[in-house]
Structure 1
Amino acid sequence: MEDCRSTIARKEKEETTEILAPPSTATKKKSVKKMIEREASSWCGRAVACLLVTVLLVVIIIWIVVIIAGGSANPFKHLWPFKRELTIKTSLGEVRGALLQVLNKTIRVFYGIPFATAPNRFATAVPHSPWRGVRDAQNPLPNRCPQPAHTHYFDVPVNSSTQEDCLFIDIYAPDSVPDAPRRPVVLILHGGAFQTGSNRDPLYDGKFLAAVGEVIVAVPNYRLNAFGFFQTSLDTSPGNQGLWDQHLAIKWVHTNAPVFGGRRSLVTLLGVDSGAISAGLHLLSPVSRELFSRVIMQGGSPFYMGEFAPYVDDAELDTFARSVCSNRSQEGPEDEKYTLECLRNASVSELLDNLDPFDGVNKKSFGPYYGEKGEGRFTRQLQHAIHNRPANAMRGKDLLIGYTSNEGEYFMRLLSVAWSVSSVNRFPRALMRIFLERLCLQFYSRPKLLPLLDFYFGRKNASSNVDCFLKACHFLGDVYVKCPVGMMADHVSASGGRVYVYELDLETESVAPAAGFSRGAPHYADALLSLGHVYHWNSTTPSTALNLSAELMRRWAAFASTGYEAFAPFRGFCLSPFCKERNLGE
């Protein structure tokens, strides 16, 4: 037992002595090496951590910038549509616009840029004077040229707030990097029978065409009805003020196209309805036609004007003036000066209230005029161009022109409102023939159209109200739109220009479910598609309409760029030479 205790005590002493003994050189080196390794490992860990934090901060900063800038990767693009401000210097001064997200693309928008001013009512406008500082163009202006309150086609209510200070233009341009190739420019002339309309109408929102077609879109206002087309023999009120407003807008766009990334040599006029008539008149006019290279005309042609007869004749002008200035009593230059002064002193509402008889259905409306009367740039010049062969005046411009399969339904719908007819089955057959005869004699002053009624309707009454309605649609569609479009195409083709004629033939439900009782595609349906208006609708918009809209916007943009881009016809739309010619009596 004693030996065991001695042995254990000796071992404990040896271990204690070993622990207390100074380390050897090898042990020291080993310990230092481990320390260095631990320090290095700790430093690398801190460096990696710092690097990760730095990368994370950079990613967060870039993500925040993307959100603010509104790039296509922005997850909040629908909640935060506008991006950073931007300022551009135009020929008249600086404007501040904004960037907008549209269909996952970024476009620049500049609302309400003034391009002209009218010094007096009924006077010819002049270019707007330059301004100092930066003009805010980030928000749409409510300024609509004076016009009667109305409901737009497809039952879209229109704000009736109007001002005479209304000559503004909206610009939509794709966002692009510096030194990017310059883009085509499309200037849209709105429709409305020269009585209503503005660049604030949802149909003429240019952001969709700019985004999908990657073109610059310009949409101006111009004066309408009596404010834009009342004329006298006096130099101070020569007539066609609305056309001159359009000319100044075209000239402004031609001058400022490079500022927005556009090319001056690739300006295309796109007109809808009466805007198409206007585009055709600018094509004929020596004043405007050198400012653009191509024309797109949808649902209208200047030959609609009864071989360019004035919209309102002298007797109807006199009736309008008397209705506003009731004490007008004599004729002659002095009386004309008095009447002009009276009309200029009248309120906007007084003039608009007296426009009711000039509804474009039962009587002629205020609109473009040409002839010897007046000294306006769009009177005698147009007369000279027209009477010396229109083809010579057009000088080989490229033209894309067309119509819908059921253009006449729109005009029949206007009649149904005027006659308080709620359905096709209740349309009065007896009144139909009387109205169409009066249309031929009074509105067009062309008795030669009367035999056509027998061609469309036959010598006996139609078998039913519906049959009568459809035949009347064919007649009005051919007279108002299709035949004038064909005449325009013939003249441009004779001038050496490339001409392409289209027809849209989709069932109404595929394009515009609220159109009423039409069969086929009605008036304006092609504009609803080619300008992207269907994207304004809710989630129930048919996919057919969305797909066709995107296709037409790309093709319209291609035409503005190259004059034509070949593509195969597809269901519901055909482009010459793919269209089959419809029999006139069908």
Structure 2
Amino acid sequence: MTVYILAAICAAMFSPVTVQAAAEVTAPAGRLVGLEQDLFGTTVHTFLGIPFAHPPVGERRFRRAERLPPWDGVYNASTRPNACIQEVNGEWSPDTLTSEDCLYLNVYQPTGVPVGAAVMVWIHGGAFSSGAGAGYYGGILAATEGVIVVTVNYRLGVLGFLYTGTDDAPGNMGLTDQLLALQWVQDNIPSFGGDSSKVTIFGESAGATSIGLHLLSQESRNVFSRAVLQSGTVLLPSMVNTVSEAADKAMALSESLGCPTGQGTAALLTCLRSQDAQQFVTSTLFVPVMDNEFLPANQADALNDGTFKGADIMIGANTNEGFLILSISGFSVESANRELFKQAINRVISKELNELAFEAVEFQYTDWLHPDADTRYRDILAAVGGDYPFVCPAVATARAHARFGTNVYMYEFGYRPTNSRRPDWVQASRRSVHVRHHEIAGECTRIHGDMMNCVPINGATNVPCAHVNFLPDLCGSTSRNRRRMHPDTRRHAELRAD
């Protein structure tokens, strides 16, 4: 694709955000005062840490969040809010404090755009156990594309997804937090100049899975119009539980904390509510549950039956994305041989594949122009590791939506930033570039899940101009696709960036 090199813009992207004055908005929720920032010659009003629900603490722990009534006076929206409770472990951690009081959102409003601007709501990923809305900076996308950007927090892990089958712990609290934030957007975004009928939700990994689940939920039908799913679907393995799986996790957690499991749900939850919130940071994944209430009983059946919102969608994945998944699982992809390949397939994909199945996978993924290459099993493993959790579910989801007349775009993102810390053979994997929230050093940062990557995340700031120059074309064109999403046919169209 053509890239226009603009030296002045490149220089500006390596300068801190210039904060000039306060910005004010009066919305149905109340009056807010935020920050006014200059970005690329556009003034962006930034409102941080806006509460959209009662704090889910005390007796509200594990329950669905409740709408916050309008506040009196002026709310100071100039400071990033706390992230929700999660493990703090370096690279994957938010760069803010964590707290159980975390249901806040952030709004980035460009000035000079007509009233009725399109709105893009970002739902972060992190395996439903990490991440924060405020860790992503929406100002650049707002400034360059004239859209209003909203980023949101939602409860994670045990606090967001504990399931007992009762109203006191119904499961899916993290998803209903997202829903409440989207309802807040519907009610309040016109005061920021946005059109509540033009809301696109977009996210990566667990954020994309969340979006896929909102497409299935009857309760979420009227709070957005379009969706972008980046490296995540409702078919993403291990990211959705059955009722029995979710209940088993709740029992195991309770036993590990010494809470009674034989005295009824009320006694169990009383004990769990007495625990310090940090006790709920666990290696066990607590994820959405197909409860047959907020969500249907089976996500695959819902896709096959067409019982989903008929919204235009964009969906896809990234080249070499399996490198990340396998690395997290403890495999050295670089030194892969046939034995390691079999071990990885057994652990990451299936424990039940026989030798014939291994040979079939090996045959399908071998580069037969170079069958004896030293990198044969490295390349096979990286490809399978991406296809299984991301590409195949994305294709299946796209086909299901297209079959029922939905406009669908598919993409593969293969751009490798020039300062990537990944091995030379890895193209787009994850976090190939890092950008701190408060510094403008480049837009496309979180490569796993982010074909568009126009919402920076925390990290190093030395982003080369070669990478910066790629962004206006990529992020601009894809943002416009997000807003319009009108392919020429009812079949899924393809979009590739590399």
TM-score range, shorter chain: 0.7 to 0.9
Q: Relative to 1, partners in 2 of residues 1:522 and 1:338: Cα closer, same or farther, differing over 3 Å?
A: same
Identify the residue that residue 530 of structure 1 maps to in structure 2. 453
Identify the residue that residue 22 of structure 2 maps to in structure 1. 85
User: Contact (CA 8 Å) 1:440, 1:449: kept in 2 or not?
Assistant: no
Identify the residue that residue 205 of structure 1 maps to in structure 2. 137
Q: Relative to 1, partners in 2 of residues 1:169 and 1:160: Cα closer, same or farther, differing over 3 Å?
A: closer
Q: 1:323 aligns with which of 248, 256, 266?
A: 256
Identify the residue that residue 95 of structure 2 maps to in structure 1. 159
User: Contact (CA 8 Å) 2:216, 2:302: kept in 1 or not?
Assistant: no
> Normalising by structure 1, what TM-score?
0.71
Q: Relative to 1, partners in 2 of residues 1:237 and 1:163: Cα closer, same or farther, differing over 3 Å?
A: same
Deviations 1:147-194 (A, max 9, x none): 0112336xxx643731010000000011127xx342100000001011
User: Contact (CA 8 Å) 1:394, 1:495: kept in 2 or not?
Assistant: no
Q: Relative to 1, partners in 2 of residues 1:440 and 1:484: Cα closer, same or farther, differing over 3 Å?
A: same
Structure 2 counterpart of 1:192, one-letter code:
G
User: Contact (CA 8 Å) 1:285, 1:385: kept in 2 or not?
Assistant: no
Structure 1 counterpart of 2:88, one-letter code:
A
Distance in 1 separating the partners of 2:350 and 2:246:
14
Matched, 1:576 2:486: no
Q: 1:346 aligns with which of 275, 286, 289?
A: 275
Structure 2: 5+ residue stretches without partners: 1-8, 431-445
Deviations 1:368-400 (A, max 9, x none): 11135xxxx424xx2277645556333431111
Moved more, 183-192 or 525-534: 525-534
Structure 2 counterpart of 1:336, one-letter code:
T
Q: Relative to 1, partners in 2 of residues 1:160 and 1:528: Cα closer, same or farther, differing over 3 Å?
A: farther
Identify the residue that residue 554 of structure 1 maps to in structure 2. 476
- Identical residues among aligned pairs (%): 26
The 3-state SS of whatever aligns with 2:88 is coil
User: Contact (CA 8 Å) 2:209, 2:232: kept in 1 or not?
Assistant: yes
User: Contact (CA 8 Å) 1:528, 1:534: kept in 2 or not?
Assistant: no
Moved more, 493-502 or 161-170: 493-502
Q: 1:513 aligns with which of 409, 420, 444?
A: 420
User: Contact (CA 8 Å) 2:164, 2:247: kept in 1 or not?
Assistant: no
Q: Relative to 1, partners in 2 of residues 1:316 and 1:536: Cα closer, same or farther, differing over 3 Å?
A: closer
Deviations 1:232-257 (A, max 9, x none): 02221110000000000111111112
Distance in 1 separating the partners of 2:375 and 2:250:
37
Distance in 2 separating the partners of 1:277 and 1:80:
32
Matched, 1:291 2:223: yes
Distance in 1 separating the partners of 2:104 and 2:427:
36
Matched, 1:116 2:50: no
Choose between structure 1 and 2: higher strand proportion. Answer: 2
- For 1:172-251, list aligned pairs within 5 A: 172-176=108-112, 180-201=114-135, 204-251=136-183
Distance in 2 separating the partners of 1:451 and 1:315:
34
Structure 2 counterpart of 1:497, one-letter code:
T
Matched, 1:454 2:377: no
- For 1:62-461, list aligned pairs within 5 A: 81-117=18-54, 118=56, 120-141=60-81, 143-152=82-91, 158-159=94-95, 161-176=97-112, 180-201=114-135, 204-305=136-237, 309-310=241-242, 312-325=245-258, 328=260, 331=262, 334-352=263-281, 355-356=282-283, 358=284, 365-371=285-291, 377-379=293-295, 382-383=296-297, 387=301, 389=303, 392-416=306-330, 424-425=334-335, 430-441=339-350, 447=352, 452-457=357-362
Distance in 2 separating the partners of 1:410 and 1:438:
15
In the TM superposition, residue 431 of structure 1 has moved relative to its aligned partner by 5.0
Distance in 1 separating the partners of 2:464 and 2:111:
28
Deviations 1:253-273 (A, max 9, x none): 111121111111110000111
In the TM superposition, residue 533 of structure 1 has moved relative to its aligned partner by 3.0
Matched, 1:499 2:421: no
In the TM superposition, residue 516 of structure 1 has moved relative to its aligned partner by 4.4
Structure 1: 5+ residue stretches without partners: 1-71, 359-364, 567-574, 581-586
The 3-state SS of whatever aligns with 1:131 is coil
The 3-state SS of whatever aligns with 1:152 is coil
Distance in 2 separating the partners of 1:92 and 1:371:
31
Deviations 1:46-80 (A, max 9, x none): xxxxxxxxxxxxxxxxxxxxxxxxxx9xx9x9688
Moved more, 553-562 or 126-135: 553-562
The 3-state SS of whatever aligns with 1:245 is helix
Q: Relative to 1, partners in 2 of residues 1:409 and 1:565: Cα closer, same or farther, differing over 3 Å?
A: same
The 3-state SS of whatever aligns with 1:394 is coil
> Normalising by structure 2, what TM-score?
0.83
Identify the residue that residue 436 of structure 2 maps to in structure 1. none
Q: Relative to 1, partners in 2 of residues 1:94 and 1:474: Cα closer, same or farther, differing over 3 Å?
A: same
Q: 1:469 aligns with which of 368, 374, 378?
A: 378
Higher relative contact order at CA 8 Å, sep ≥6: structure 1 or structure 2?
2
User: Contact (CA 8 Å) 2:106, 2:151: kept in 1 or not?
Assistant: yes
Distance in 2 separating the partners of 1:291 and 1:432:
44
Structure 2 counterpart of 1:144, one-letter code:
A
Deviations 1:76-134 (A, max 9, x none): x9688122323212222111112101123211100000001225211110111221100
Choose between structure 1 and 2: higher helix proportion. Answer: 1
User: Contact (CA 8 Å) 1:532, 1:550: kept in 2 or not?
Assistant: no
Q: Relative to 1, partners in 2 of residues 1:313 and 1:476: Cα closer, same or farther, differing over 3 Å?
A: farther
User: Contact (CA 8 Å) 2:346, 2:353: kept in 1 or not?
Assistant: no
Deviations 1:528-584 (A, max 9, x none): 7531539986455142x3233222321233124322489xxxxxxxx934669xxxx
Distance in 1 separating the partners of 2:299 and 2:215:
10
Distance in 2 separating the partners of 1:308 and 1:451:
30
Deviations 1:268-321 (A, max 9, x none): 000111100101111111111221111011111111146954394433332222
Structure 1 counterpart of 2:266, one-letter code:
K
Q: How many residues align?
A: 459
In the TM superposition, residue 518 of structure 1 has moved relative to its aligned partner by 5.1
The 3-state SS of whatever aligns with 2:317 is strand
Distance in 2 separating the partners of 1:317 and 1:190:
24
Q: Which has the larger radius of gyration?
A: 1
The 3-state SS of whatever aligns with 1:248 is helix
Distance in 2 separating the partners of 1:484 and 1:261:
36
Deviations 1:433-466 (A, max 9, x none): 2343244457xxxx5799654322359x997885
